[in-house]
Amino acid sequence: MTETPPTRFVRVVAGVICDARGRILLAQRTGASDLGGLWEFPGGKIDPGESPEHALVRELDEELGIQAEVGEAVITVPQLYPDKRLTLDVRHVTRWQGNPRGREGQALLWVPPRKLARYRMPPADRPVVAALQQPDRYLVTPDVGQLTAGMSGAELEAGEQAWLDALERTLATGISRVQLRAPSADPRRWARLAASAVELCQRVSAEVLVNGDLELAARLGAGVHLRSDQLSAHRDRPVDPGLALAASCHTVDDLRAAERLGCTFVVLGNVLPTATHPGRNGIGWEAFAAMREHVSMPIYAIGGLGIQHMDQARLHGAQGIAAIRGLWAD
């Protein structure tokens, strides 16, 4: 039976209010309210004809008694609830006048950013925490097997070293989350090369995931990035809780399966046409947002994207972008 989504649309704005110590303000929903007892970023509904900026200033005055200056956008999260479709527009607030207090009886708490994930939150607020804590770029390495096709001996070794050198240059741009992927490489050579790549990533404290190969990931002490066709093969999380688990998703069913497995994050696309799939249209940003609203985990947009698409990705609920060509130093 096909699900019928709610027809009621609600637009909400919230502020990431940061004090001089870098702590972030959370407010607890009162027991009588929807999702009572959960913690959230302060804010409220946007009235018809009202801008998000004006609504946030008004709501923070009414709820906290402060006069806030609205800063840059953090993320806009589309989220599906049983009774409504909600869009949460989140902005930075670093300057305000007044002393924040719960004028509507709500508890307030200043929380260090690293501890935000410990607090139970509504589904729409969880991607905001990820946007504040986790990388906005997810590098997928180019297939070294394709780059070195036809090479042998010293030429092959030089080609593999060039790949490692390019990875090192890419990490120097600030990349801190990496997927090692080489589907056409010789498995034994790839295992050695991947070990060297892990060492490079560890030097700069970049998180590493291995595409598809759970055994190799375990040997390297790395996380795992599951292909979409691997999602149905697992009923339980296939890696230790301390390691990252990700997945490639193309449908809402994929997203839900990944969330059930406890994936740290996923990628969804292709959003735009790509050179690797000529003639195939991407799903587009509206379809990305429509699928994104069914789950609350971090989702990277992938497919034909580069740094120039970051703002658009965040506007449609993405953690950021995942890419090969758009992030690789060469």
The residues with which 43 forms a beta bridge, in sequence order, are: 14
Residue 3 maps to a domain: no
Residue 94 maps to a domain: yes
| 78: nearest Cα among 306, 311, 309, 285 | 285
State the sign of the Cα–Cα–Cα–Cα dihedral 203, 205, 211, 214. positive
Q: Cα–chain-centroid distance for residue 60?
A: 27
Q: Indicate whether 110 and 143 sit together in one domain.
A: no
Residue 127 maps to a domain: no
Contact by Cβ (8 Å): 181, 151 = no
Give the pLDDT confidence score for residue 275 in this predicted structure.
Answer: 72
Residue 57 maps to a domain: yes
Site of tokens 């925490």 = 129
Residue 132 maps to a domain: no
Packing angle, helices 252-261 and 285-292, rounded to 10: 40
Q: Indicate whether 141 and 97 sit together in one domain.
A: no
Contact by Cβ (8 Å): 63, 90 = no
- CATH code of the domain covering residue 307: 3.20.20.70
Residue 51 maps to a domain: yes
Residue 54 token pair: 């004006």
Q: Indicate whether 190 and 69 sit together in one domain.
A: no
Q: Indicate whether 232 and 271 sit together in one domain.
A: yes
Q: Indicate whether 142 and 288 sit together in one domain.
A: yes
Give the pLDDT confidence score for residue 3 in this predicted structure.
Answer: 63
Q: Indicate whether 250 and 164 sit together in one domain.
A: yes
pTM above 0.85, yes or no: yes
Report how far residue 310's alpha carbon sits from residue 72's, in angstroms, rounded to the nearest whole number: 14
Q: Indicate whether 225 and 307 sit together in one domain.
A: yes
- CATH code of the domain covering residue 91: 3.90.79.10
Backbone angles phi, psi at 95, to 5 degrees: -135, 135
Examine the fold and report which residue of 122, 146, 176 is the final residue of a domain before the chain moves on: 122
Distances (CA, A) of 323 to 132, 181, 282, 300: 20, 12, 14, 9
Site of tokens 């719960």 = 102
Task: Tell me how many domains the chain contains.
Answer: 2
Examine the fold and report which residue of 69, 89, 122 is the final residue of a domain before the chain moves on: 122
Task: Label residue 269 exposed, middle or buried (CB < 10 Å: 0-12, 13-18, 19+).
Answer: buried
Give the pLDDT confidence score for residue 1 in this predicted structure.
Answer: 46
Report how far residue 299's alpha carbon sits from residue 145's, in angstroms, rounded to the nearest whole number: 28
Q: Indicate whether 252 and 152 sit together in one domain.
A: yes
Residue 35 maps to a domain: yes
Contact by Cβ (8 Å): 224, 210 = yes
> Which residues constitute the domain of residue 161?
137-323
**Tens digit of pLDDT at every position of the chain (330 positions):** 456 778 799 999 999 999 999 999 999 998 766 678 999 999 999 999 999 999 999 999 999 999 999 999 999 999 999 999 999 999 999 899 999 999 999 999 999 999 999 999 999 999 999 999 999 999 999 999 999 999 999 999 999 999 999 999 999 999 999 999 999 999 999 999 999 999 999 999 999 999 999 999 999 999 999 999 999 999 999 999 999 999 999 999 999 999 999 999 999 999 998 876 666 789 999 999 999 999 999 999 999 999 999 999 999 999 999 999 999 997
| Maximum C-alpha span of the chain | 73
Give the pLDDT confidence score for residue 32 in this predicted structure.
Answer: 66
Examine the fold and report which residue of 90, 122, 154 is the final residue of a domain before the chain moves on: 122
